[in-house]
Amino acid sequence: MGLNHHYKVLLLALSILLLWHSTNASEATKGRWDTLLNSTGVVAMHMALTHHNTVVMFDQTGQGPTGYRLPARRNGPRRYAHSVEYDLLRNRIRPIEIESDTLCSSGSILSNGSLIQTGGFGSGSRRIRFFRSCGNGRCDWREERSHLSEDRWFASNLRLPENDDRVIVLGGDNVFSYEFVPKRVPNERPFNLPFLHNTYERNEGGNNLYPIIHLASDGNLFVFANRDSILLDYKRDKVVKTYPRIPGRGSRSYPSSGSSVILPLSHKNNFDEVEVMICGGAAYGALAAAQRGNFLAAKRTCGRMVITGHHHRWEMESMPGPRVMNDMIVLPNGNILIINGARHGCSGSNYGSNPSLVPYLYKPKRPTGSRFTTLASTRIARMYHSSAVLLPDGRVLVAGSNPNHQYAFGGVPHPTELRLQAFSPANMARDFDHRRARNVTVKGRRNEEWVGYGEEFDVEFSLNEKVRRNNNDDQVVFTAYAPPFNTHGMSMNQRLLVLRCNKLVRGDGGLWRANVVAPPSSKVAPAGYYMITVVNGGIPSRSHWIRFIHV
């Protein structure tokens, strides 16, 4: 009897040990999901990271009651917060007031770290808003007296490489123009863009809303809508290049909602080569079919194209499965995380089905056919109106999902989702901590908090292992990441740069000092706050903020 008991105890211990090893092995290859909060109170339809390590989230003022009430105005109705600020370190939510309706709006992070937010629905369609996180939990939204020239609902927003923090706001629902904020002259007119007329499909909800915009390293703008793309010289209001159509039927733009990134820019070619990648989207006729309750399989293809130079061709490849309403996040080591969305249907109120619970990891430097791997699955559906952003500690914050007209927690195909999650990619597992750079500090030579374009700055860190300076996987790389404004699968202004390291010197006790060079111009990296990461053999450190500025 006693011997039997000992065998049972030993068997239980062995089972626990095997489970522990299995869990850690899975985390080291597939990543890990963690629930941070059971409720954010507000659906994260829009999300942006600030350099104070907070994340601002907001939905729409017409969404109905949320999880947070605002102080009642005298003799007025109950009011609810539709925006919150999430403190990463304290894991705490602070409700903040936003006035006009921000449904399906756009935004950018300015050079001082403020969020500029443009457009929306109804009363908010021409509004311009600012949110400046100040680190003390007291900052609020501010609405400008000036307005946009046209209604900007489902428009896109991009920071321009200029000294005065101008942004371009392009497109919108049945709007075929672009304009600039702030206005340089009173009543500055919008600029008509025939490309938006030509890509509009009335019977399919437009299929060119939320146009994809990327800043090329020559200062021109890559604009993609539906299946077509151009290079726009916004200073001369001139299309300077028309690219080949991406292969395949169906669309990549809202409501067909694929997603896009610029692949990492590198000092090795002086940041001159710019390659765009677009993944997912909806089948031809997806919107009309979804309105009849028939959800067509989404697109499973991705296209890559170098938009600089003179020869342009889409290189096509297939994801492990179909995907629409997906988010694409550039990780510090240059790999791409594809997360959120659905396998069938398109964007819109309950127009998607069969949630995509499995993220994909894409390694752009591998040969075609071996670039995709599947990661750990989540149990939470992230459908229409979900979002994702990269955090300084290497995790990806995932929130939102509400394809309903109001908050609905039952009796609908896809209930409102308020849980907040973090996805840790495999290279954040403890198995790799012995290779992870720690105690990273970044200092400019003239000022600790900022660096001028082309200037050298210092990065200090510690490593537990010997660093080999060669061209294999153990190479130490320094990257700079521009945090985006994320909504509807669009990570506006997202870009990652691999910076030049002039010298890497080892000191005592595993300490290292690197002499790193800032990007050469604002065309390569618009002025503002960037996350600097030390990547050792593909394993990222915790990121440190630095500001690139015009001197």
Residue with tokens 């939102």: 400
Quick: pLDDT tens for 200-224: 999 899 999 999 999 999 999 999 9
Q: Which of 141, 132, 54 is nearest to 90 (CA)?
A: 54
Q: Among 8-17, 187-196, 460-469, 517-526, where is mean pLDDT lowest?
A: 8-17
What gap in Å lies between CA 150 and CA 192, rounded to an integer? 11
Return mean pLDDT, the chain.
93
The pLDDT score that the predictor gives to residue 436 is 96
User: Rounded to the nearest 5 degrees, what angle is found at the Cα of 36, between the Cα atoms of 30 and 39?
Assistant: 130
Beta strand 265-266 pairing with 495-506: parallel
What stretches of 132-214 show up as alpha helix (H) in DSSP? 194-198
Look at the chain and count its residues. 551
Quick: pLDDT tens for 140-151: 999 998 899 999
Q: What is the CATH number of domain 31-428?
A: 2.130.10.80
**Identity at 51, one-letter amino acid code:** H
Q: Are 375 and 426 in contact (CB under 8 A)?
A: yes
Q: Are 332 and 479 in contact (CB under 8 A)?
A: yes
Mean pLDDT of 154-181: 96
Cβ burial of 279 (10 Å; 0-12, 13-18, 19+) is: buried
Write the CB contacts of 550 (distance below 8 Å, at least 6 apart in sequence).
Answer: 163, 452, 453, 522, 527
Grade residue 472 by pLDDT with cuts at 50, 70 and 90. very low
HEC assignment per residue over 288-316: HHHHCCCCCECCCEEEEEECCCCCCCCEE
Mean pLDDT of 368-392: 97
What gap in Å lies between CA 378 and CA 312, rounded to an integer? 37
Percent with pLDDT over 90 in the chain: 83
Residue with tokens 């105690």: 439
What's the pTM?
0.93
Cα 328 to chain centroid distance, Å, stands at 6
Q: Are 445 and 455 in contact (CB under 8 A)?
A: yes
Q: What is the DSSP letter of 428?
A: G
Q: Which of 105, 114, 103 is nearest to 140 (CA)?
A: 114
Quick: pLDDT tens for 33-84: 999 999 999 999 999 999 999 999 999 998 888 999 888 776 677 789 999 9
Phi-psi region of 227 (alpha: psi -120 to 50; beta: other; left: phi over 0): alpha
Per-residue pLDDT at 473 exceeds 50: no
Helix (H, G, I), strand (E, B), or coil: what is residue 545?
Answer: strand
* In the chain, domain spans: 31-428, 433-549
Grade residue 184 by pLDDT with cuts at 50, 70 and 90. confident
Grade residue 15 by pLDDT with cuts at 50, 70 and 90. low
User: Rounded to the nearest 5 degrees, what angle is found at the Cα of 121, between the Cα atoms of 120 and 127?
Assistant: 50
Q: Is the peptide bond before 255 cis (omega within 30 degrees of 0)?
A: yes
Q: Return the bridge partners of 169, or none.
A: 157, 179
Cα 416 to chain centroid distance, Å, stands at 21
Helix (H, G, I), strand (E, B), or coil: what is residue 403?
Answer: coil
Helix (H, G, I), strand (E, B), or coil: what is residue 32?
Answer: strand
CATH class of domain segment(s) 433-549: mainly beta
Mean pLDDT of 407-413: 94
**Identity at 267, one-letter amino acid code:** H
Grade residue 190 by pLDDT with cuts at 50, 70 and 90. very high
With the C-alpha atoms ordered 64, 69, 70, 74, is the resulting torsion angle positive or negative? positive
- The token pair at 523 is 């065309």
Q: Are 60 and 33 in contact (CB under 8 A)?
A: no
What gap in Å lies between CA 189 and CA 166, rounded to an integer? 15
Percent with pLDDT over 70 in the chain: 93
What gap in Å lies between CA 249 and CA 478, rounded to an integer? 40
- The token pair at 196 is 């938006």
What Cα–Cα distance (Å) separates residue 45 from each residue in 40, 60, 252, 385, 497? 12, 8, 20, 5, 27
The pLDDT score that the predictor gives to residue 471 is 39
